[in-house]
């Protein structure tokens, strides 16, 4: 069985890490991040973009090429933990992008990288 690699992106955390006025247009900020992920040259088989709140209006849930957008039913952190758990259970490697320390402490065995790491690659 092939080991798949999955990058789980905390959309709110990544968007919020750049003070570019995202708070005036949360759906637009989510859409711009999604568009950048679609064309990013990353080594991951799948990128899971988790959106919550108003940002969900910017990108429909579902798959676009190698990016799968998930709308959090409750809070984003719970959905990110669930997506990391599912990817790990499938036998692949998992990396979570977030600066949220409480979330990072609860996604083991996933590796955690910062939003700046991701943004440097987009």
Domain locations in the chain as residue ranges: 5-119
Output the pTM of the full model.
0.93
Q: Which secondary-structure segment (H or E) carries 19?
A: none
Question: Is residue 11 a contact partner of residue 53, using CB atoms and an 8 Å limit?
Answer: no
Condensed to tens digits (0 to 9), the pLDDT of residues 40-55 reads 988 899 999 999 999 9
Question: Is residue 53 a contact partner of residue 12, using CB atoms and an 8 Å limit?
Answer: yes
Using DSSP bridges, classify how beta strands 67-71 and 46-51 pair: parallel, antiparallel or unpaired: parallel
Question: Is residue 62 a contact partner of residue 44, using CB atoms and an 8 Å limit?
Answer: no
Burial environment of residue 82 by CB neighbours within 10 A (0 to 12, 13 to 18, 19 or more): middle
Condensed to tens digits (0 to 9), the pLDDT of residues 53-99 reads 999 999 999 999 899 999 999 889 999 999 999 999 888 899 999 99
Question: Is residue 16 a contact partner of residue 52, using CB atoms and an 8 Å limit?
Answer: no
Q: Candidates 3.90.45.10, 3.40.50.300, 3.40.50.1010, 3.50.50.60; correct CATH number of 5-119?
A: 3.40.50.1010
Condensed to tens digits (0 to 9), the pLDDT of residues 14-39 reads 999 988 888 899 999 999 999 999 99
């Amino acid at each position: 069985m092939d080991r798949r690699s999955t990058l789980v992106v905390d959309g709110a955390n990544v968007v919020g890490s750049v003070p570019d006025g995202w708070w005036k247009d949360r759906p637009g900020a989510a859409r711009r991040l999604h568009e950048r992920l679609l064309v990013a040259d990353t080594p991951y088989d799948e990128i899971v973009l988790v959106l919550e709140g108003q940002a969900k209006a910017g990108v429909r849930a579902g798959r676009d090429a190698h990016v799968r957008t998930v709308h959090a039913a409750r809070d984003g952190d719970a959905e990110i933990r669930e997506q990391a758990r599912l990817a790990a259970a499938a036998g692949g490697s998992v990396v979570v992008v977030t600066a949220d320390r409480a979330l990072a402490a609860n996604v083991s065995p996933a590796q955690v990288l910062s939003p700046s790491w991701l943004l440097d690659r987009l």
